[in-house]
Structure 1
């Protein structure tokens, strides 16, 4: 079913592109404004109440397009693309620097499981912006010397690399950041009740159209390259929070009978091969939730829970395969507060 075709006809909106669902009750309420569109290579949705009933879609899209020109590797003239080409004249902007500093912080917290220098590996395994035929085994010995968040730094609005062959990929954090910024646009224009979603990353505040917390569904992991099979694992109720989910059940390929996940472990150079199927993170902001969800897919269940317990206001919900191949769930203690009653 096309979300774009059905968006005003259904109460239950499902976002098959990322395996995240969110429930918006009575979204046709005249007090709420609903926007949708395409940005960052995916779809976005926003529902909000404006004090004067003003539609803010143009302002939201203008701001998100600016982020694209900073952080999208698919925009040839973006800041990050020019950095990847070693353009000495490029200066980093506020968007790039905010994402860069947060990425470096998450890299340290997760012991390198999250790393924006992963671009050469993502490309080599056939999942990145430099598309080519997927190969069975890239030569990691020629790539790994150029991977590592410790090999890059900011100096006077310039990105300094230890090696010219280092390339950056912010895709695992940029959508979360953009979701935060879209929410900021709503805040700056007086909106107190809203939900913003970009490619499955979510920020919500206040109440939904029924005066309740926002209902969000977490997808049940089902291997499906066609993005047509959908079941809900559980429904949660949140407000004044951000949420992101990462999983390996949508983006993968099978070659010579072996499954290759789109999530790459930057520490080893290989696609992750753990029993974790999806990681959902709730945090105060979406840039953090987005990056941690990716890192938790790399780290696996035990390490993810350990790190989550050290982070204030961060909770996680992990779905994994047990030794018998059955799907199991484990979550941080604080996540219990979000289950929909």
Structure 2
């Protein structure tokens, strides 16, 4: 008995095959879309996000803005009802967001690795010197000695669920790590969406992943000349940035004039006073921007010699330091693994 060819049965299969062919063709022929997204976060801090989307061509600005808004609502001490403000005003905080517990853990690591040079409990001293949300005049020596008692991780206890104070006037400030942390969060989000080539900059802190395929070269980042005034900003050098992050800290932009004297925004948790040393700028490279940001701040606290000691002790931590010698001449220190990398 002969079998009858049934076109009705074979037709749906043919349709599926044609659709698969068209989908594969469009996928192969779709050109990568280069996005450059800008905006502001953490008040007036600007951000720049570049990525190459080879799949959907989606503009992720709404999602990035939403992420940064949630982040700010958690860690900004300038927002009265933020998560950190609630802790600063009370004794106990059960975490409300996904951001608080990780930043505490990373902060404590850097605190321990730098001998306390990086310390987010420094907020009372930051306020006293006029660099925090609670503005103040220049504190006297007795006030500084009292406030120093509030500084240190020994004054707080935290686990994965909550944080509490052991001294009621302890306050936290993550300003020295927040930008780097936010950079990592944006990179992680875009990576989760299948994006492989990413460049994220927030307030000067940067992380890059993959390759700048739009210009057929590595992502690059510049380091500012710390001797130039704001209206004459110029690059001191530049580095390629492939699958790593960089954060720069310095006292050449953020300072106050008190009684005719420049007062640095970097307050030493050891002395309670603004730092004074030869280190002008610390640019730190690391796998994660949150760590680069924290170490850059710590280096501006401890100065040149101690910074080099820490750099040489911690694996995968690299730095480019700009300092002045005893004759006032500009000098640089470059980690051995970075030597030969500067582009300018």
Q: Same fold (TM over 0.5)?
A: yes
Correspondence for 1:184? 188
Provide the residue aligned with 2:125 in structure 1.
121
Give SS of 1:129's match: coil
> Which segment is superposed worse, 134-143 or 235-244?
134-143
- Displacement after TM superposition at 1:137 (Å): 3.7
Aligned residue pairs total 310
What is the correspondence of 1:3-14 to structure 2 with a 5 Å cutoff? none
Counterpart Cα distance in 1 of 2:274 and 2:63: 38
SS in 2 for 1:103: helix
Query: C-alpha distance in 1, partners of 2:175/2:268?
Result: 15
In structure 1, distance between residues paired with 2:260 and 2:93: 46
Distance 1:273 1:295 in 2: 14
Out of 212, 221, 246, which is 1:216 matched to? Answer: 221
> What's 2:20 paired with?
none
Give a deviation string over 1:69-108, Cα, whole Å, max 9, x none.
1111011111111000016464353210000000011000
Counterpart for residue 246 of structure 2: 243
Unaligned runs of 5+ in 2: 1-30
Q: Give the TM-score, by structure 2 length.
A: 0.86
Unpaired runs of 5+ in structure 1? Answer: 1-28
Shift of residue 337 of structure 1?
A: 5.0
1:308 aligns with 311
Distance in 1, matches of 2:295 and 2:92, equals 31
1:287 is paired with a residue whose SS is helix
Q: How far 1:265 moved relative to its partner?
A: 0.7
Q: Kindly indicate whether residue 267 of structure 2 is the aligned counterpart of residue 270 of structure 1.
A: no
**What SS class does the counterpart of residue 228 from structure 1 fall into?**
helix
Residue pair 2:92, 2:165 contacting (<8 A) in 1 also: no
Contact 1:222 1:229 survives alignment (8 Å)? no
Deviation at 1:131, TM superposition (A): 2.0
Please say if residues 92 and 157 of structure 1, whose CA atoms lie closer than 8 Å, have aligned partners that are also in contact: no
- Per mean C-alpha deviation after superposition, the further-off stretch among 83-92 and 264-273 is 83-92
Q: What's the counterpart of residue 106 of structure 1?
A: 110
2:187 and 2:200 in contact (8 A); partners too: yes
- The 1-side partners of 2:188 and 2:160 are apart by 27
Higher helix share: 2
Offset from partner CA, 1:260-307 (integer Å, 9 cap, x none)? 100111111011111100000010000000000000111111111111
> Per the alignment, do residues 118 and 67 of structure 1 end up closer, same or farther by CA in structure 2, a change over 3 Å counting?
same
- Which gives a bigger RCO, structure 1 or 2 (Cα 8 Å, sep 6+)? 1
Larger Rg: 2
Residues 1:136 and 1:152: Cα distance change in structure 2 (over 3 Å): closer
Partner residue of 2:204? 200
**Deviations for 1:217-268, whole angstroms, at most 9, x for unmatched residues?**
10000264xx322121111111101110000000112222322100111111
Matches within 5 A, 1:59-74: 59-74=63-78
1: CA distance between counterparts of 2:93 and 2:240?
Answer: 47
| Alignment partner, residue 88 of structure 2 | 84
Q: Partner residue of 2:61?
A: 57
Q: Distance in 2 between matches of 1:156 and 1:234?
A: 41
Contact 2:93 2:164 in 1 (8 A): no
30, 37, 40: which is aligned to 1:38?
40
Give the corresponding residue for 1:144: 148
User: What is the deviation of 1:340?
Assistant: 2.2
Q: Per the alignment, in what secondary structure is the counterpart of residue 99 of structure 2?
A: helix
Aligned twin of 1:282: 285
Question: What is the aligned-residue RMSD (CA, Å)?
Answer: 1.7
| Kept in 1: contact 2:116–2:269 (CA 8 A) | yes
TM-score by length of 1: 0.87
Which SS does the other structure have where 1:61 is aligned? helix
